[in-house]
Amino acid sequence: MPPLSAADRAALQQEWLALTRHDLPALAAARGWPIALDHCFARVLLDNAVGGCWYDAIPRRPAYRHATDAQLTAAVALARAARDGALDLPAANARSLQWRRARNGPRQAATRDRAGSLI
């Protein structure tokens, strides 16, 4: 993929923000999606665009500014597909959560006493 021009990159970033901050959250309730917050859409779409936890593939935050052109293009394509009903968003969310659980390993649940203090 040839590098995007500065104008094309800026337009893609603006589309990303519109999709993740406005369009997709506005559709969440009507479509029965398991997520509704902008940062959750960003997590799911970026994770699926890079095939794992995005912060393992994109070194700095905010991710949409520091993603490669190819990564951002893929994430926006997934966002468009979700908006258009062509992406199974619950399945994409499940994949994202699975990658994150695998990355973090099993965690022990903290035990609390009756007063709510950690034991």
The answer to the question of residue 116 being in a domain is no
Whole-angstrom Cα distance, residue 44 to residue 21?
13
CB within 8 A of 2, min separation 6: which ones? Answer: none
Residue 49: closest CA among 23, 82, 24, 11: 82
Total domains in the chain come to 1
The answer to the question of residue 44 being in a domain is yes
| Model confidence band, residue 105 (pLDDT cutoffs 50, 70, 90) | confident
Helix pair 69-84, 89-104: axis angle to 10 deg: 140
pLDDT digits over 40-90, tens only? Answer: 999 999 999 999 999 999 999 999 999 999 999 999 999 999 999 999 999
The answer to the question of residue 111 being in a domain is no
- Look up residue 40 and give its two tokens: 């959750």
pLDDT digits over 10-24, tens only? Answer: 999 999 999 999 999
Which structural domain, as residue segments, surrounds residue 34?
6-104
* Chain-centroid distance, C-alpha 75: 8
The answer to the question of residue 27 being in a domain is yes
Which residue's structure tokens are 């394509």? 77
The answer to the question of residue 89 being in a domain is yes
The answer to the question of residue 97 being in a domain is yes
The answer to the question of residue 110 being in a domain is no
pLDDT on residue 112: 42
pLDDT on residue 104: 87
**What global pTM score does this model have?**
0.86
Whole-angstrom Cα distance, residue 33 to residue 49?
19
